[in-house]
Structure 1
Amino acid sequence: MPEAPEVEALALFLRERLTGHAVTGVELVEGRALKTRARPLEEIVGRAVTAVTRHGKHIDLDLEGVHLGLGFGRAGWATWGDEPADDDVPAGSAVIARIAFDHGILGITDAGEWLSVQLHVVDSADEVPAVAKLGPDAADPGFSRDMLATALGRRRKQLKALLQEQETLAGIGNAYSDEILFAARLSPTAHASALTDAEVTRLYDALHDTLATAVAERRGVPIAQQKAAKVAAMKVHGRTGEPCPGCGGVVEDIPGTKGAGQWCPSCQGG
């Protein structure tokens, strides 16, 4: 799943390449991905990109007042090239849509077992339902410790699930929630309501440092290599059975996640 650092890198990539360029043609390969049926993708043809912004794990293309919202979901991503050839699409992915410009083609892909990519043609970014209900952006440099404390509240919800709740904190998914909790040395199954003030501070420092580092490291990485760069940077996520980089113990699957999340029981509270 692309999360805030990868989507931020993609937004920067698209901003640099698309701003000022007009859409010359569109192809919607998978019709189910377009969620605004009354507003076809053809509405953006002939319009130039004036801004590219990230909203959590979503991207908004402003095309002279008409907006194209890109939601990548669990397994969506993008390609960029001179030709719309299927050979450019990562293995296991399917082309969902192609958006042609005078200097290249933006492809939207999905690699999931079920369709997760969503496209919206709207008048403003917040008309996309998933964007409208986003909480504060966890990767925003202005995100503060007080904002995290407010988001956590005194909720009896496990930390891993809460970190991934987009209405609470935007931009964090499965992988970075594991990495943040490992850096904070907090159990993924601990409840937010049980955290002390010192633990909230520790969680904030881990969140800020983990996301800021990832955003900086992903910047400039070719979009086709973003997934590999993310995987290589993980310390515990996806590393079941490997030595913990903190204590030398063994990284294990988080109970109840069916292998989707990982932690170090020795470092993170037994």
Structure 2
Amino acid sequence: MPEMPEVQGLVDFLRRKLLPSDGQPAVVAGLEVASFSVLKTAKVPVQALAGLPVDSVGRRGKFLVLEIGGLFLVMHLARAGWLRWSESLNTAALKPGKGPIALRVRFADQGSGDEPGFDLTEAGTRKSLAAYVVERPEEVPGIARLGPDALEMDRDSFTELLHSHGGQLKGLLRDQSKVAGIGNAYSDEILHAARLSPFALANKLDDDAVGTLHATMHQLLRAAIEAAAGRPAKELKDTKREALRVHARTGQACPVCGDTVREVSFADSSLQYCPTCQTGGKPLADRRTSKFLK
């Protein structure tokens, strides 16, 4: 799933393409919906964006937000979605229900003879990719529920959040209503770097552990954003995978201590951790029965 650093990488990439410093902003030529499940709004028709210029490209948590002529195209890539850019889109109209493309956004030719734009694609059968055309980003339910951005939380607000939360650290970091921008992968990476168990209770951390977790969260996310900066959209997922130390590394050696990275599986996801670095050498049992909360 794309998380804050990859979405920020897409923001930077699209700004270069759509808001060039040496030219005019891109103008939307049209939108094509190939998967009817992707469009979550009907109040503002997608055709309303045609002919309007791109005003800004930004991010809210893990949502990608394009302001277009005073309206907003908001996109959430979910677990298996991605944005695929082309300098010259196929001129043939999309066929609904065929292939991985859910939505295509075309931009007007700026003299090259080609029509650039991007496709939103989604792999697999679980269709969670979402696009919204709204008058305000806050009309999107997921944005309305967002907590503060992870990188905007100072030490005091982060401490207050942890002390008021009785749940486990892994769940708290992934809860977008509490901390926006972090998903399954970076929560694993942050907890590993901070040497904390994913099952540790948030309100039981002492001040030193809270400070370490806050600093680690900022350092790791900023490093990931820096690594993504300047890269084309097609390289962002590989950049993320290459930097991961424990997430999706089950059975491999921890790069810090050499212990074997282990996994805890859930119904629709899993987490990875290093026993030596995070749980005093003890392997974690299933989430429902584990006693290792320190």
With normalisation by structure 2, the TM-score equals 0.85
Contact in 2 for aligned 1:11/1:52 (Cα 8 Å) = yes
- 3-state SS, counterpart of residue 262 of structure 1: strand
Question: 1:147-200: per-residue Cα shift (whole Å, max 9, x none)?
Answer: 211222332211111100000000000000000000000000111011111110
Deviation at residue 257 of structure 1 after TM alignment: 7.1
- 3-state SS, counterpart of residue 32 of structure 1: coil
Deviation >4 Å, runs of 4+ = 255-259
> Root-mean-square deviation (CA), in Å?
1.7
1:92-103 to 2 correspondences below 5 Å: 94-103=100-109
Unpaired segments ≥5 residues, structure 1: 87-92
- 2:259 is aligned with 1:253: no
Of 110, 114, 125, which aligns to 1:113? 125
Q: Letter of the aligned partner of 2:52 in structure 1?
A: R
Aligned length: 262
Contact in 1 for aligned 2:163/2:204 (Cα 8 Å) = no
Deviation at residue 143 of structure 1 after TM alignment: 2.8
With normalisation by structure 1, the TM-score equals 0.92
Instruction: Report the Cα distance in structure 2 between the residues aligned to 1:184 and 1:219, rounded to whole angstroms.
Output: 24
Q: Letter of the aligned partner of 2:86 in structure 1?
A: G
Of 56, 64, 81, which aligns to 1:76? 81
Contact in 2 for aligned 1:188/1:254 (Cα 8 Å) = no
1:9 — aligned with what? Answer: 9
Deviation at residue 256 of structure 1 after TM alignment: 4.6
Deviation at residue 205 of structure 1 after TM alignment: 1.3
2:289 — aligned with what? Answer: none
Contact in 2 for aligned 1:67/1:121 (Cα 8 Å) = yes
Contact in 2 for aligned 1:239/1:262 (Cα 8 Å) = yes
Q: Letter of the aligned partner of 1:63 in structure 2?
A: I
Q: Letter of the aligned partner of 1:115 in structure 2?
A: K
Distance of aligned partners of 1:135 and 1:258 in 2 relative to their CA distance in 1, 3 Å threshold? closer
Unpaired segments ≥5 residues, structure 2: 20-24, 92-98, 110-115, 283-294
Contact in 1 for aligned 2:43/2:134 (Cα 8 Å) = no
* Identity in percent: 40
| Larger deviation, residues 17-26 vs 254-263 | 254-263
